[in-house]
């Protein structure tokens, strides 16, 4: 790996694990507020499967979700983070895991889910990486096996979180939202186009998941205040 790529990866990891590395920071405090809000809106009402998506690529889904998983685990919740982005998987990189065995293997009946779940370096946080990128992600995610996997893991964890691709790009996120109880839409300040944000929200409202909220990523606090 070139030095430039290595540095880029290091910075991405730092952002994804910010709440672990900088527990007392303002950003970590914001994530704890998000945790409280989600607890009021969802977890406190029996919502235990939550997916995160955004309209387009690069809006901060994975970074946000990694930090949300960490603050939930820090609270003592048993958390399973599933990388259901079978197209541009990143969770395994953020947590320094192997991606040789993961969700795609389980969905292709090549592995048992319990053998594909890894421990992370964060207490209470387990991870199911995506596994190798398959040629047919939507087909795999819409299979009955996906439903069975969720049913199987749901009882072992307090909360199961899903990373997904951009909802306007492919149908995968809607498929996953149909299997989840809650959804969070990430929009990125200065990046997400307004019409796309509305389209993404409408797509989510057409699924079985309850839209728990919209998260503004990368907002300038000075502008927001
Ligand atoms: N609030 C932020 N401030 C600065 N950089 C950020 C912020 N949020 C995310 N990033 C950076 O933006 C890039 C994209 O973030 P991330 O991978 O989380 O987005 P994504 O929506 O999951 O992308 P993809 O659609 O490729 O899965 C990464 O380099 C990440 O470190
Ligand atoms: Mg991502």
57-115 tens-digit pLDDT: 999 999 999 999 999 999 999 999 999 999 999 999 999 999 999 999 999 999 999 99
Closest residue by Cα to residue 164 from 156, 153, 174: 174
* Pocket-forming residues, ligand 1, beta carbon under 6 Å: 12, 15, 54, 57-63, 85, 88, 90, 166, 217-218
Please choose from 63, 87, 89, 92 the residue to mutate so as to test ligand 1's pocket, defined by most ligand atoms within 8 A of CB.
63
Closest residue by Cα to residue 180 from 46, 44, 32: 46
Mean pLDDT of the chain: 95
For 128, the token pair is: 């199911």
Q: In CATH terms, is domain 3-224 a member of 3.40.190.10?
A: no
Q: Quick check: 209 and 183 in contact, CB under 8 A?
A: yes
Report the separation in Å between the CA atom of 69 and the middle of ligand 1, taken as the mean of its atom positions: 16
Asked whether residue 144 carries a pLDDT value surpassing 90, the answer given is yes
Query: 127 in the Ramachandran plot: left (φ > 0), alpha (ψ -120 to 50) or beta?
Result: beta
pTM here is 0.96
- At residue 43, the pLDDT reads 72
CA distance 172 to 220: 31
- At residue 40, the pLDDT reads 85
The pLDDT tens digits of the residues spanning 146-188 come to: 999 999 999 999 999 999 999 999 999 999 999 999 999 999 9
């Amino acid at each position: 790996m070139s030095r430039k790529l290595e540095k880029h990866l290091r910075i991405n990891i730092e952002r994804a694990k910010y709440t672990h590395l900088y527990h007392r920071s303002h950003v970590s405090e914001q994530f704890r507020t998000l945790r409280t809000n989600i607890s009021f809106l969802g977890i406190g009402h029996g919502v235990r499967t939550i997916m995160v998506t955004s309209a387009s690529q690069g809006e901060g889904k994975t970074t946000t979700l990694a930090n949300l998983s960490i603050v939930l685990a820090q609270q003592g919740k048993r958390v399973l983070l599933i990388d259901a982005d079978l197209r541009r998987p990143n969770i395994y990189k953020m947590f320094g895991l192997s991606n040789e065995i993961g969700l795609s293997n389980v969905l292709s009946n090549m592995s048992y889910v319990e053998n594909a779940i890894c421990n992370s370096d964060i207490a209470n946080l387990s991870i199911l990486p995506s596994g190798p990128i398959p040629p047919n992600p939507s087909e795999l995610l819409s299979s009955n096996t996906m439903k069975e996997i969720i049913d199987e893991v749901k009882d072992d964890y307090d909360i199961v979180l899903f990373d997904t691709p951009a909802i306007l790009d492919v149908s995968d996120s809607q498929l996953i939202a149909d299997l989840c109880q809650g959804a969070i839409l990430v929009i990125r300040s200065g990046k997400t186009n307004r019409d796309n944000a509305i389209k993404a929200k409408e797509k989510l409202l057409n699924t079985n998941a309850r839209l728990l909220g919209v998260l503004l990523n990368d907002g300038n606090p000075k502008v927001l205040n």
